[in-house]
Amino acid sequence: MRKIAIMSFAMLGAALAGSAAAQAPTRTFIHAGQLLAEPGKQVRGPSTIVVEGGRIVAIGDGFQPADPGATLVDLKDKYVLPGLIDSHVHLTSDAGGLAGQLEDVTLSSAAQAFNAEVNGMKTLRAGFTTVRNLGDGDGATLALRDAVAAGKVRGPRIVDAGVSISGTSGHMDGAIGYRDELRPFFEGAANTCNGADDCRRVVRIQIGRGADVIKFASTGGVNSRIGAGLGKQMFDDEAKAIVDTARLFGRKVAVHAHGADGIRLAIAAGADSIEHGTILDEETIALWAKSKTYYVPTLSTVNGYKERLAANANAYEPDVLEKIKWRISITGKSLEQLVPRGVRIAFGTDAGVSKHGRNADEFELMVQHGMTPVEALKAATVNAADLLGLADEIGTIAPGKSADIIAVSGDPIADVRVLKTVDFVMARGEVVD
């Protein structure tokens, strides 16, 4: 009996070993014609990238033969580079003006969640494997973030801000432009504050909802219907309270800021990034150059504005339209001033104002306004990964990192516009159809 028992355990061990082997992650070998593993550094010639379990496990020179049973991806005629990162999107919609305002009060949370999933896939198929979603109204993208991370649905990796914060009647006050009796509906978002203590409270609420990053508005905005201009609309102690509370919980902070006074306020408070950064003076530029605060230009907003107005001259209320025309006229001038001064740039489009899936249009605008193609690529990979706090995970193609890989037919260093047509996308080791 003892001999039979030993034999049975041996047979069981062999069966378990065979089962483990059958369940082992399949390796994928990618043959890359040219490989830009880290934008800003030397381009490699023919290379082989080995992927297993969603991660890059090896990179070798030449086209190495695939292991028996492994998947081979032939990109020998392609230019391969890391998955791109958009540091400023709004996935739940890309309606704007009056149409966007109507969506705020007609679409259910479920409908917005489906919109976010569709827009996320447009973004992913465009080669952007990670996004930072800087605000929605009801948590749809928080849910999508978790569903993507759990493998329930496909989409880009999402770093989410919950609902963006401002002072009452500031740019992020959703009730602006609606009837007074609707204000309680918008106040349910718990994202407006008055005074430092109240601002600490709303940050804690967003963190409790699951926000990965905190976003607030230190100035007025182009799209908000309040005739208070684009200058500072938050007190110093309020901004400092928001940043300090975010830091207490280990969160980074993005700040919507157009006016120079609001930009200086955000930098002094310790913001990690300034979004838009439209109006500058020498004092602001000098302060920014000394800081580690990133600039996220969001130049693509002008494309969204122009396209909507071409389709419908009455797409925006007159008070908003006036600001839009100004924004179109001044777009890119800040980038032209900040790049030579050494301010760190991270790629971000404000997709939602512009169209989802067209994120790469931003590259062309960045190059038109003072950046080289290599600098623009670095902004969308290495720099954006650093800004998001994910430099150990994404931004380059290197052993140990997430297998976020794209391929294009041309050389983006010679012509950055080739990034508008992406031929191959792998996100976390899975090929995206």
Residue carrying the six token digits 């990179």: 59
Confirm if 92 and 112 have CB atoms less than 8 A apart.
yes
> Structure pTM?
0.91
| Domains observed in the chain | 24-83+397-431 (2.30.40.10), 84-387 (3.20.20.140)
Q: What is the pLDDT of residue 335?
A: 98
Residue range 78-118, pLDDT digits in tens:
999 999 999 999 999 887 666 766 677 777 888 888 999 99
Q: What is the pLDDT of residue 97?
A: 66
The share of the chain scoring above pLDDT 90, in percent, equals: 77
Q: Spell out the residues 6+ positions from residue 132 whose beta carbon is closer than 8 angstroms to its own.
A: 85, 86, 87, 88, 89, 158, 159, 160, 161, 213, 254, 348, 387, 388
Residue 275, CA distances (Å) to 303, 325, 345, 430 in order = 17, 19, 11, 31
Between 420 and 317, the more confident residue is 420
User: Across residues 353-373, what is the average pLDDT?
Assistant: 97
Q: What is the pLDDT of residue 170?
A: 83
Q: Predicted confidence band at 165 (pLDDT cuts at 50, 70, 90)?
A: very high
Q: Predicted confidence band at 10 (pLDDT cuts at 50, 70, 90)?
A: very low
If DSSP states are collapsed to H, E and C, what string results for the chain? CHHHHHHHHHHHHHHHHHHHHHHCCCCEEEEEEEECCCCCCCCECCEEEEEECCEEEEEEECCCCCCCCCEEEEEEEEEEEECEEEEEECCCCCCCHHHHHHHHHHCCHHHHHHHHHHHHHHHHHCCEEEEEECCCCCCHHHHHHHHHHCCCCCCCEEEECCCCEEECCCCCCCCCCCCHHHHHHHHCCCCEECCHHHHHHHHHHHHHHCCCEEEEECECCCCCCCCCCCCECCCHHHHHHHHHHHHHCCCEEEEEECCHHHHHHHHHHCCCEEEECCCCCHHHHHHHHHCCCEEECCCCHHHHHHHHHHHCCCCCCHHHHHHHHHHHHHCCHHHHHHCCCCCCECCCCCECCECCCCCCHHHHHHHHCCCCHHHHHHHHHHHHHHHCCCCCCCCCCCCCCECCEEEECCCCCCCHHHHHCCCEEEECCEECC
Confirm if 25 and 52 have CB atoms less than 8 A apart.
yes
d(CA 31, CA 406): 12
User: Across residues 141-166, what is the average pLDDT?
Assistant: 96
Residue range 274-306, pLDDT digits in tens:
999 999 999 999 999 999 999 999 999 999 999
d(CA 169, CA 366): 32
Q: Predicted confidence band at 188 (pLDDT cuts at 50, 70, 90)?
A: low
Q: Is the pLDDT of residue 211 over 50?
A: yes
Q: What is the pLDDT of residue 25?
A: 67
Q: What is the mean pLDDT of the chain?
A: 91
Confirm if 350 and 302 have CB atoms less than 8 A apart.
no
